[in-house]
Amino acid sequence: MMEKHQQEENQKMNVYKKLIDARVKLQNTALTKSGHNKFAGYKYFELGDFLPAIQEIFQQVGLLGCVTFYTDIAILTVINIDKPEEIIEFKCPMSSAALKGCHDVQNLGAVQTYLRRYLWTNVMEIVETDIVDASAGAVIQVKDTKAEDFI
C-alpha cells in the first residue's frame, strides 16, 4: 500500500522535483571511488561506482537518463517518465582521445566513457576532488571556451 502511494506521489511531481529527490537519495548513498590516478595520486569515481545506484534511484522516482553523442556535443537528457514532455538537458562539448596503442574506435569509446561520467557527475551533482588542487604544482592547460560553445 505504501509503495502504491509513493508511485502516485511520483506521478504528480515535475521533472525538477524528481531530479532533486534523486540527488538527495544519491547523496545519502555510500559511494566508493574505485578509480585511481597513479601519476597525480588521487582517487576518482568511475561510472560503475555510481551509475547502478543512479539507475535504481531514477527507477524509484520516475526518471530516465539518455545520453546522445553528436559530432560537436554530448547531451544527457533527463526525462520524467510519467510526463515524457518534461525534460532537462545537460550538455558538454565533444572532445577527442589519443590513447597509445589504441584504434580509432577505442579512442571514441574512451571519449564516450569519459563524457558519460562527466555528464552524470554534473546531472547528479556528484562531488569530486578538484583535479587542479590534486595535481599539486603540475601545469594543466585548459582550453579557452565561450558560453556559446555549450549552447
Find out whether 100 and 121 touch, Cβ atoms under 8 Å: no
**Beta carbons within 10 angstroms of residue 31's beta carbon:** 14
Produce one character per residue of 72-92: b if its CB has 16 or more CB atoms within 10 Å, e if not.
eebebbbbbbbeeebebebeb
Q: Which three cell numbers stand for residue 93?
A: 562539448
DSSP designation for 72: S
From first to last of its 151 residues, what are the pLDDT tens digits of the chain?
Answer: 657 767 777 778 999 999 999 999 999 999 999 998 888 888 889 999 999 999 999 999 999 999 999 999 999 999 999 999 999 999 999 888 877 777 888 878 888 999 999 999 999 999 876 655 555 555 545 555 555 554 5
